[in-house]
Amino acid sequence: MTRFRTVDLLVTVLIGGAFGVAFLGYGQLYTLIGPLTAAFKPAEGLLAGLWFLPAMLAALIVRKPGAALLAELVAAVLSMLLGSQWGWGTAISGLMQGGGVELAFLLTRYRRFTLPVAILGGVLAALLEWGWEKFAYYQEMSWSFSGMMLVFFLISGALLCGGLGWVATRALVATGAVDSLAAGRAAARAAEA
């Protein structure tokens, strides 16, 4: 089933919208790791995975081609319209992050929505986002520091996007809020079997 019903479409775009709003509160988290990043800037990459979450949740809940990309793009356009400090760079980031997650599920032909695939999605999103940031923002950063930043990005993508996204989806399935969506139906089938 690749057809987007209205509810699939709405859930996808509203996940993007909800994260766009929640992200405004996430800025606070950077103050938590402030001492760390002041001493060592590439450590900022440790939180990178959080920004890929809309894509991951949309993919794991809606389970249809394009959901990850669309959700992340809505979140990106939203922060852009609200005045993100990266301007049009945010849109490209949305494309990279959503595209990375999308790619992982595409590789399974949208048949597997398991933790390892989610982690792969987080890693791919981190890789693409890092590539874009290196090109656009950190051209002059030395390759050794850039390499360390990549490591932080990959760890964060695997844990905060892949791992946390997968856990969050399970928590959402438990609430019953996704019963009319692919993730809820799969859980119901698993419970019956």
Partner 1 sequence: MPPRARPRPEAAGITDQTRKDTRAEAAVHIEGLRWRPLTRRAPTIDGLDLVIPAGQRVLLAGASGSGKSTVLRALAGLLDPEDGEGTHLPAPPQRPGARGLLLQDPADALVAASIGRDAAFGPENAARPRPEIHERAARALAAARCDLNPTRAPLDSSGGQQQRIALAGALALDPELLLLDEPTSMLDTATAEEVRAAVLDAADGATLVVAEHRIGPWLPHVDRLVVLGPQARVLADGPPEELLTTQRDVLVDAGVLVEEEDAQARAPREAVGAPVAALEGVTVPARGLHTPQDLALHAGRLTVLSGPSGAGKTTLLRVLTGALSPATGAVTRPEPSRLALVPQDPEHSFVAATVRGEVLASPYAKDPALVEELLERAGLAALAGAHPHRLSGGEQRRLAIVAALAQRPALLVLDEPTVGLDARRRTEVLALLREARDRGCAVLAASHDPLLLEAADDLRRLTASPVGPEIPPERRLPADALNPLTLCLIGILAAAGSFAVQTWQGGLLALLPTLLLAPFAVRSLRGAALRMAPILLSAAGLAWTTALLGEAPSLSCESWLVGLKEAARITAFVAPGVLALGSVRPTPLGDALAQRLHLPARPVAAAVLALVRVGHLGRQWSTILETRVRRGLGTPRSPRLLAGATLALLVDTLRGAEQQALAMDARGFATAQQRTWAEPSPFGRADLVGLAIAVLMLVWPPVAEMLT
Residues that bind partner 1 (CB under 8 A): 1, 4-7, 9-22, 24-26, 28-29, 31-32, 41-42, 57, 61, 70, 73-74, 77-78, 80-89, 136-142, 145, 168, 171-172, 174-181, 184-185, 187-189
Beta carbon nearer to partner 1, 16 or 121: 16
* Nearer to partner 1 among residue 111 and residue 191 (C-beta): 191
Nearest residue (CB) to partner 1, 38 versus 109: 38
CB of 171 to partner 1, least distance (A): 6
Query: What burial class does residue 190 get, using C-beta atoms within 10 Å of its C-beta: 0-12 exposed, 13-18 middle, 19+ buried?
Result: exposed
DSSP letter for each residue of 69-89? HHHHHHHHHHHHHTT-TTTHH
Q: How far is the CB of 162 from partner 1 (least distance, A)?
A: 16
C-alpha span between 101 and 125 (Å, rounded): 6
Tokens of 2: 């690749």
Tokens representing 125? 């999103």
Contact between 82 and 109 under an 8 Å Cβ cutoff? The reply is no
Measured CA to CA, the distance from residue 109 to residue 128 in angstroms comes to 20
**CB of 166: closest distance to partner 1 in angstroms?**
13
Which residue, 115 or 138, is less far from partner 1 as judged by CB?
138
To the nearest whole angstrom, how small is the minimum distance from the Cβ of residue 80 to partner 1?
A: 6
Instruction: Please identify, using beta-carbon distances, which residue of 24 and 107 lies nearer to partner 1.
Output: 24
Query: Smallest gap, in angstroms, from Cβ of residue 143 to partner 1?
Result: 9
In the structure encoding, which two tokens stand for residue 184, read together?
A: 């809820």
Q: Are 71 and 98 in contact (CB under 8 A)?
A: yes
Least distance (Å) between residue 35 CB and partner 1: 14
192: exposed, middle or buried (C-beta count within 10 Å: 0-12, 13-18, 19+)?
Answer: exposed
CA–CA separation, 99 vs 73, rounded Å?
Answer: 10
User: Toward partner 1, which CB reaches closer, 71 or 107?
Assistant: 71
